[in-house]
């Protein structure tokens, strides 16, 4: 039996449908403590998700790799991975690292025991998207899963978009290119990400903290002055008159908005 066929049989026995178009998101759980594993699986099945629960890292890597290399429709694609840190054979951190090295972009929610904050930080650095410390409630877990799935389903739409236009600014997300009043402007990666965020949310006010988190990441140690400096640079490159900006507007007491 091939790897894919083996895991397919495993999924059928767990009631995972073979990727019909309207299938519910498919969540893979990797947790060695049977009680936690089964509790999570039941809670997610109750919510209507398709679930496969595994107990060690080696099995998980097998399933993940089989699902990535499988032909279209052969196996359901994994929409979300719930990964415990301490696992037999291959632990959660190594698994996360291996999967990101393979180029897998599936969202990962890490589960950690108390007192493993360092592992959590490492986990987030090597590509986990969120974490929950044990013990946690099932409602909290489900809320996190929903949010990760929502975020992941939004991304492809943004990636498919070839150009975002706002007044005289055209931003090409896939080419990292910006044209203002028919001329190309050179933006640094942070300036580009900042402008992309604004252009995806015209007229929405962002606070400095929100911009820090969205553009620089939650682990960034700098302060909100960083945001002001980048806004100033962006204005110098975009605005006709940077001292009287028409695009990126300061909203006193709140932050900034586009338009
Ligand atoms: Ca464990």
On whether the 164-258 domain is CATH 1.10.10.10, my answer is: yes
Q: What does the alpha-carbon distance between residue 184 and residue 165 come to, in Å, rounded to a whole number? A: 14
What CATH fold (topology level) applies to the domain 3-154? Rossmann fold (3.40.50)
| Predicted confidence pLDDT, tens digits, the chain (259 residues) | 566 666 667 776 666 655 455 578 999 999 999 999 999 999 999 999 999 999 999 999 999 888 877 766 667 789 999 999 999 999 999 999 888 888 788 999 999 886 667 777 777 777 888 888 888 999 999 999 999 998 887 665 444 567 889 999 999 888 889 999 989 999 998 999 999 999 988 888 999 988 988 888 877 777 888 999 999 999 999 999 999 999 999 999 889 999 9
* CB atoms closer than 10 angstroms to residue 79: 20
Question: Which helix (H) or strand (E) covers residue 178, if one does?
Answer: strand 177-180
Rounded to the nearest whole angstrom, what is the distance from the C-alpha of residue 67 to the centroid of ligand 1? 23
Rounded to the nearest whole angstrom, what is the distance from the C-alpha of residue 251 to the centroid of ligand 1? 47
3-state secondary structure of 170: strand
Rounded to the nearest whole angstrom, what is the distance from the C-alpha of residue 258 to the centroid of ligand 1? 46
Per domain, the residue ranges of the chain are 3-154, 164-258
Rounded to the nearest whole angstrom, what is the distance from the C-alpha of residue 45 to the centroid of ligand 1? 21
The pTM of the full predicted model, rounded to 2 decimals, is: 0.57
């Amino acid at each position: 039996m091939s790897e894919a066929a083996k895991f397919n049989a495993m999924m059928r026995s767990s009631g995972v449908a073979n990727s019909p178009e309207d299938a519910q998101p498919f969540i893979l759980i990797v947790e060695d403590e049977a009680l936690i594993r089964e509790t999570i699986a039941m809670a997610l099945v109750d919510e209507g998700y398709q679930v496969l629960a595994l107990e060690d890292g080696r099995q998980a890597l097998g399933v993940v790799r089989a699902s990535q290399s499988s032909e279209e429709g052969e196996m359901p694609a994994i929409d979300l991975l719930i990964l415990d840190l301490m696992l037999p054979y291959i632990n959660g951190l190594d698994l996360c690292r291996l999967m990101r090295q393979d180029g897998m972009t599936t969202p990962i929610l890490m589960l950690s025991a108390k007192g493993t904050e360092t592992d959590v930080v490492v986990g987030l650095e090597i590509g986990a998207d969120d974490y929950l410390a044990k013990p946690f409630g099932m409602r909290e877990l489900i809320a996190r899963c929903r949010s990760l799935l929502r975020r992941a389903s939004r991304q492809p739409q943004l990636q498919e978009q070839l150009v975002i236009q706002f007044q005289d600014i055209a931003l090409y997300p896939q080419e990292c290119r910006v044209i203002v009043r028919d001329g190309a402007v050179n933006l640094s990666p942070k300036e580009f990400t900042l402008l992309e965020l604004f252009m995806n949310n015209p007229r929405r006010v962002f606070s400095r903290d929100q911009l820090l988190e969205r553009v620089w990441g939650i682990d960034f140690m700098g302060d909100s002055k960083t945001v002001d400096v980048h806004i100033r640079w962006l204005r110098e490159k975009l605005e006709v008159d940077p001292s009287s900006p028409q695009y990126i507007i300061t909203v006193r007491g709140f932050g900034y908005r586009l338009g």
